[in-house]
Structure formats: structure tokens, C-alpha cells
A and B are shown apart, each in its own frame.
Chain A
Amino acid sequence: MAWRDFKKRLKRQMSDIMDIPSDIVMDLPKIVLVGDLQVFIENHRGIVEYTAESARVSVGEYEVAVTGEELLLRNILPDEICLEGRIKSVYFIR
């Protein structure tokens, strides 16, 4: 585990020094919220759970959970998911 932590730290420092967006360098999810209407989740690893009230999306080491009402998966692409509906919360589950 130490090796992986070291690599992570290196990457973060690199992205800080080189001024490269860290979502690219570190392969992190990028989550964009448009009001409470839409959530875009980039760099995802697949859907874990989807119901009308909640959705969980795997993003590698952890999950992004979205709760709301009348949730609708507007589209699913290999690296992007768009969720629509009245969104209440977005949080991470480790």
C-alpha cells in the first residue's frame, strides 16, 4: 500500500507543479452539478445501483451516491453518465 500512496502523492505533486488538471493525471471522477437538475459524472466505472430515488455510481476506489426524486439516466456513455431529476444530495461512499 505504501507504494501506491507514494505514487498518488507523486502524481498530485506533479499535477500541482505542472498545472495539469488532477482528474486527468490521477484518474479521478469529475462531477458537474447543474443546479439541482442534472449531475454529470465523468470517469465512472459503472452503475452500482439505480432507482428512482437514488443512484450509486462506482468511480474506482469509492462510489458517488446521488439521491433525489424522479431520477432519470439521461444517457450513459463509457466515460460519462448524466443523471436528471430533482437532486437532493451528492455524496461519496467509501
Chain B
Amino acid sequence: MFLFRLASFVFGYVNMLVQGENIEKFLNVAVSRGIYLWDISRAGDNRIFVKTRLSAVKPLRHIARKTKSRFSFRGRKGLPFIAGQFRRRKSLLAGALIFMAGLYILSSFVWFIDVKGNRRLPPDMIMKTAAEAGLRVGSLRFGVDRQRVENIILERIPEVSYVGVTISGTRATIEIAEKIIIHKLQMKPAHVVAKKAGLVREVLVLVGNPTVKEGDIVVPGQILISGVVSAPDGQNSALPGGPAGGQLVPAPAAPPAYVHARGVVRARVWYEGYGEAPLVEEGTRATGSTASRVCIKIAGKEIILSGVQKIPFSMYTSERDVKKPPGWRNISIPVELITDKYTEIENYREERSRDEAAGIARRKALESARCGIAGEVMILREQSGEVVLKNPEGVIRFTATIETLEDIGVEKAIH
């Protein structure tokens, strides 16, 4: 039954009012001719409503004439009539078609390119190489030869060990795995110089000429291991076939050799810090409650879109974030989206005992001392002490000293 109705809808059907003296005959003749009629109901004396398919209307005219009845249409439904409506509204149909075509055409371009998996390589460089291979923003999806793009990226960028190009929708993803390339050691002549002041504890020379020894105090920038190596005196005299008759012949001074000095110079380094804490602290701090509101500003007038109307705090700080549409030439759109964020603050007064204040001051002092420490260090000693002044002003002050052992050498090229 449903299929029947569906077919009727597809081919179109009409509801018609049949009038005549002998309606039963009209029905019988129509049925015997194979015309499908349904939903027949009485509308009054000698009048019935009949539904029938569009294709049956023409034969029904003959039958009506034969059985001396008349019919008129009361409703029409189905696809042919809907199509007819669209035929009258051509521009709507054209718009729908243009929309579909636009959707199809626009979705056949690559609009976004993502680069994934790169750690050291800049994504711009990979995108540029991909663009040269034919994958750029705005290129046709079907025109991109992914294999070719992959091969070209692999060829042009030696740091890349794997490339995978996938295009899903309008987004292309370039997945990259980088090679780890071990660069050759720099062999330019260089000194090892101190980067920090300290007391040298041990010197381990791999290449070069040490200029400091244990116990020396060095300042930043001082050469620790020199890259300038003068040939040792004993070497000339130890040359085979050298001295004749046991007499030392002073050899002409060999020009100094330049090497890339390397070595480890460990030194004790001191870091100092200072911290203070008042016995009575006053100030303001955030309570943690915030409120925000979004408003749109049109030509000087602010309209609150969402959020609080009145700021529910007596004391607060506010942050304002203004978003403006980008201007073009001399035209600027006078519309701004403003997001205000209010943070409630409160006054506070904190009284501390001497011990508490001392603890805070010591902690701050040690923290400030630790600020300067970086890299691989061994902490030898941490020390802190109170600074006692004549008039303490209600403030506890501490200094801290941290002593570390660390490699202070850093390479510096010889000019």
C-alpha cells in the first residue's frame, strides 16, 4: 500500500469532484478500464470525491462523457506539480544549483595545510617545498600528486626521513619524521673560557694548553684552556738525529699551533641571594571570584550581550580585551567586541611572628640565590644568615649563599 502511495506521489495525483446521475457506472467503467481510484467519499447527492493518478485523467474524460458525468479538480499533489512550481521560480532553482556547484567546486580545493611531526624544521620551509611540488593552499585536490610531493620533499630536505601526505576534505596533512643528523665537531681554533667567576677545583684538558690550575680564582671571560699551543721546547731537541756531540742546539722557535681547545674545568661557584619579609604585611590580593561581560560597541554605544550588568564587587581590577574587524584602506567598521573581565580584590593585613617572618625571608633569599643556577651543577653548601641592622623597621632580612661545583668552561673562537 505504501509503495502504491509513493508511486502515486512520484507520478502525481489529483483529487477531483465527480458529478453526475450515474456515478456508480462511472466508477465501474473506470475500474474495468484498469484505472486505479482510491479514497472515494460521498460529497452529497450525485457528487463524490475521487483520487486518481495524473495519467488517468485523460481516459477519465472519455469515461465521464460516456457516463454523462462531469468532474472538476479540487487538489493536486505530487512531484510533477512541485516541479511545476519550481519551473515558475527559475531563479530559485538556479540559486540552488549554483549553491550546489559552488559547494562542490570550493570543496575540491585544498584550503588548509598542516605540518605535523616536525621538531626542528620550520613548517614554512616544508610548506614552501610542498608548494614547489604542487601542494599549496588553493591548489586543486585532484591535481595534487601526493607521491610526487612526498618524493620532492624527501629529495629537497635532507633532514626528513619520512613524509606522508594525506588529503582529507579540504585539509592536507604533511606528516614528517625527522632524521637526527650528527654534525661534525667544530674544528675551528677556540679557547675554553670561564663563563662564571669561581675557584678552580679541577682541570681536565683534552686538547689545548691549560692556563689555570687548581686553586686559581678566575673571572668571567678568562681563558682557562688556551687554543694556542706553542711547540714544547723538548720536542725539537728530541727530534731524531738531533744533537750531535751531546750539545743542545737551540732550535728556531716554532710558530704556535692553533687548536680547538677542549676540556673540563670544574670550579666552586658562589651564588648569593637576598630576601626580606615584613612583620606586618598590608596590601591587596585577589579573592578568586571573577565576573566577566561581553559587550558590542557600535559607533560609540556599548550594548551588553552577556554577563553581568553591574559589577558585583566593591574593589576590583578589570581587564579589557577588544576585538575589532580588520580595517581595509580607509574603511574601518565601527564595531568592536569588548570582553571585560573583573577580578575582585580585597585589602588584607597580616601580622607575623618573628619566626614566621624569618622563615619567609630565608626561603626568599635561598630562592633568589637559586635563580642564577643553571645546568648541571652539584650543590656543595647552602647557607643563610640574618642581616641585623641598627633600626630593624619591622622587616626581617636574610642573605643566602649557595656554593656549587660546576663546569664553568665555555668554548670561544680565537679571532
Q: Which residue of A lies closest to B27 (CB)?
A: A47
Residues of A36-84 whose CB lies within 8 A of B: 46-52, 71-78
* One of A46, A48, A72 near B40 (C-beta < 8 A): A72
* Complexed CA–CA distance, A74 and B32 (Å): 17
Q: How large is the interface on A (under 10, 10 to 19, 20 to 34, 35 or more residues)?
A: 10 to 19
Task: Chain B residues near A71: list those with CB within 8 A.
Answer: 42
**B37 & A52 in contact (Cβ 8 Å cutoff):** no
Q: How far is the CA of A9 from the CA of B32 in the complex (A)?
A: 30
- B41 A72 Cβ-Cβ under 8 A: yes
Determine if B24 and A49 form an interchain contact, defined as CB atoms under 8 angstroms apart.
Answer: yes
Partner of B42 from the list A52, A75, A76 (CB cut-off 8 Å) is A52
B74 to chain A, nearest CB (A): 16
State the CA gap A77–B39 with chains docked (Å): 12
Q: Is the CB of B34 within 8 A of A73?
A: no
Q: How large is the interface on B (under 10, 10 to 19, 20 to 34, 35 or more residues)?
A: 10 to 19
**Contact A72-B31, Cβ < 8 Å, known A48-B24, A50-B24, A50-B48:** no
Quick check: is B38 within 8 A (CB to CB) of the other chain? Answer: yes
Q: Which residues of B335-392 are within 8 A (CB) of A?
A: none
Q: Which residue of A lies closest to B31 (CB)?
A: A76
Q: CA A52 – CA B44 in complex, angstroms? A: 9
Q: Is B28 located at the chain interface by the 8 A CB criterion? A: yes
Query: A50: shortest Cβ distance to chain B, in Å?
Result: 6
- The binding surface of chain A is classed by DSSP as strand
Cα distance A22–B23 when bound, in Å?
32
A85 to B39, CA, bound (A): 12
Cβ of B33 to closest chain A Cβ, rounded Å: 9
Residue of A nearest to B33 (CB): A78
Of A46, A48, A72, A78, which contacts B39 at CB under 8 A?
Answer: A72
State whether the Cβ of B162 lies closer than 8 Å to any Cβ in chain A: no
A51 to chain B, nearest CB (A): 6
Tell whether B73 is near chain A: CB-to-CB under 8 Å: no
For B27, give its contact among A51, A74, A76 (CB under 8 Å): A76
Which residues on A sit within 8 Å (CB–CB) of B31?
Answer: 46, 76-78
Contacts of A76 in B (CB 8 A): 27, 31, 36-38, 40
Known A-B contacts A47-B27, A50-B23, A50-B27; the reply to A73 vs B41 at CB < 8 A is: yes
- From A46, A49, A52, A74, give the contact of B38 (CB < 8 A): A74
CB-defined interface of B20-61 with A at 8 Å, one 1/0 digit per residue? 000110011001101011111110000010000000000000
Residues of A within 8 A of B27 (CB): 46-47, 50, 73, 76
Residue contacts A-B, CB under 8 angstroms, 24 given:
A46-B24, A46-B31, A47-B28, A48-B24, A49-B24, A50-B23, A50-B24, A50-B27, A50-B42, A51-B42, A71-B42, A73-B27, A73-B38, A73-B39, A73-B41, A74-B38, A74-B39, A75-B36, A75-B37, A76-B38, A77-B31, A77-B36, A78-B31, A78-B34
Interface residues of B (CB under 8 A from A): 23-24, 27-28, 31-32, 34, 36-42, 48
12 additional A-B pairs beyond A46-B32, A48-B24, beta carbons within 8 Å, are: A46-B24, A46-B31, A50-B23, A50-B24, A51-B42, A73-B27, A73-B37, A73-B38, A73-B41, A74-B38, A75-B36, A75-B39
